[in-house]
Chain A
Amino acid sequence: MESSNTASAGKKISGSAKGYLILALLVVVSWLVFKIATPGNFGSPSNMVSYFEASLIAATGAVGFYFVMVMGMFDFSIGANIVLSSIIGAKLATQFGLGYPGLILGCVATGALVGFLNGTFYVRLRIPSMIVTTGLALIYEALANIISGKETLPTSMMAFGKMPGNLLLALAAFVIAYLVLNYTKIGTYTYAIGSNEFVAKNMGINVNKYKVLAFVISGAFFGVMAVLTISYGSSIVAVTGMASMSRNFIPTMGCFFGMAFKKYGIPLQAIIIGEFMINIIFYGFIALGAPTAIQDVITGLALLIIITLTTRASKGEIVK
Chain B
Amino acid sequence: MSEVRLQVRNLCKSFGITKAVQNVSFDINKGEVHALIGENGSGKSTLTNMLTGIYTIDSGTFILDGKEIHPKNQVEANKEGVSIIVQELGTLDGLTVAENIFLGHEDMFVKYGIKNTNAMNRRAAELLKKYGFDKIKASDPVENYNFEDRKLVEIIKATYFGPKIVVIDETTTALSQEGREELYKHMNRIREEGNTVIFISHDLSEILDKSDTITILRDGVYIDTVKSSDMDEDSLKKLMVGREVTGAYYRADYGEKISDEVVLSVKGVNVPGLIRDITFDLHKGEILGFGGLSESGMHEVGKAVFGASYDRSGSVTLADGTQINDIPTAIKHSIAYTSKDRDNESVVMNQSIGDNICLPSLDELANKAHLLSDRKLKEFANKHAKEMSVKMVNTDQFVSDLSGGNKQKVVLARWIGKDSDIVVLDSPTRGIDIKVKQDIYQLMDQMRKNGKAIIMISEELMELIGMCDRILIMKDGALNGELMRSKDLDENLLISKMV
| Residues of chain A having any CB pair with chain B under 8 Å | 1, 3-8, 70, 179, 182-185, 187-188, 191-192, 194-196, 199-205, 262, 265, 315-316
Contacts and interface: CB of A to CB of B under 8 A. Distances in A.
B10 interface: no
B95 A192 contact: yes
Interface in B75-129: 75-76, 90, 92-96, 99, 103-104, 106-107, 110, 113-117
Q: Which 3 residue pairs across A and B have the least CB separation, nearest first?
A: A204-B75, A7-B144, A315-B310
A184 B114 contact: yes
B92 A196 contact: yes
A191 B92 contact: yes
A205 B72 CA distance: 11
Interface string B157-169: 0000000000000
Nearest to B99: A188
Contacts of B140: 4-7
B488 interface: no
Given A5-B140, A204-B74, A204-B75, A195 B93 contact: yes
B95 A191 contact: yes
Nearest to B310: A315
A203 B93 contact: no
A188 B73 contact: no
A190 B53 CA distance: 22
Contacts of B141: 1, 4, 6, 265
A215 B74 CA distance: 26
29 contacts: A1-B96, A4-B141, A6-B140, A6-B144, A7-B145, A70-B94, A179-B114, A182-B117, A183-B115, A184-B110, A184-B113, A184-B115, A185-B106, A185-B107, A188-B99, A188-B115, A191-B95, A192-B92, A192-B94, A192-B95, A194-B94, A195-B94, A195-B95, A200-B92, A202-B53, A203-B74, A203-B103, A204-B73, A205-B103
A202 B117 contact: no
Contacts of B115: 182-185, 187-188
A7 B137 contact: yes
Contacts of A188: 95, 99, 103, 106, 115
Interface of B: 53-54, 72-76, 90, 92-96, 99, 103-104, 106-107, 110, 113-117, 137, 139-141, 144-145, 310-311
Nearest to B157: A203
Contacts of A200: 92, 103
A204 B116 CA distance: 20
A194 B143 CA distance: 14
A6 B72 CA distance: 36
Given A7-B137, A184-B113, 18 more contacts: A4-B140, A4-B141, A5-B139, A8-B144, A70-B94, A182-B117, A184-B114, A185-B115, A192-B103, A196-B92, A199-B92, A202-B53, A202-B73, A205-B103, A205-B104, A262-B94, A315-B311, A316-B310
A3 B99 contact: no
B171 to A, nearest CB: 15
Residue of A7, A183, A201, A205 most packed against chain B (CB within 10 A): A7
Given A194-B94, A200-B92, A203-B74, A3 B139 contact: yes
B73 A185 contact: no
Nearest to B76: A204
A312 to B, nearest CB: 13
Contacts of B139: 3-5
Residue of A187, A199, A202, A262 most packed against chain B (CB within 10 A): A202
A8 B144 CA distance: 8
A202 B51 CA distance: 12
A183 B74 CA distance: 23
A245 to B, nearest CB: 29
B106 A203 contact: no
B313 to A, nearest CB: 14
Nearest to B88: A199
B246 to A, nearest CB: 41
A4 B115 CA distance: 16
B114 A191 contact: no
Nearest to A202: B74
Residue of A8, A70, A182, A191 most packed against chain B (CB within 10 A): A191
Nearest to B100: A192
B285 to A, nearest CB: 33
Contacts of B53: 202
Contacts of B107: 185
A1 B99 CA distance: 10
Contacts of B96: 1, 4
Contacts of B90: 199
A265 B139 CA distance: 12
A185 B110 contact: yes
Contacts of A8: 144
A207 to B, nearest CB: 10
A203 B115 CA distance: 18
A4 B95 CA distance: 11
A7 B99 CA distance: 16
A191 B95 CA distance: 6
Contact of B54 (A182, A184, A202): A202
Contacts of B113: 184
A170 B141 CA distance: 29
Contacts of A179: 114
A315 B107 CA distance: 38
A94 B114 CA distance: 36
Residue of B104, B139, B310 most packed against chain A (CB within 10 A): B104
Contacts of A262: 94
B228 to A, nearest CB: 31
Contacts of B310: 315-316
A214 to B, nearest CB: 14
A183 B117 contact: yes
Nearest to B114: A183
A315 B145 CA distance: 18
B322 to A, nearest CB: 23
A315 B309 CA distance: 9
A130 to B, nearest CB: 20
A202 B103 CA distance: 10
Contacts of A316: 310
A203 B73 contact: yes
A223 B5 CA distance: 55
Nearest to B145: A7
Contacts of A191: 92, 94-95, 99
Nearest to A205: B104
B92 A195 contact: yes
A196 B75 CA distance: 16
A202 B89 CA distance: 13
Given A4-B96, A183-B117, A201 B73 contact: yes
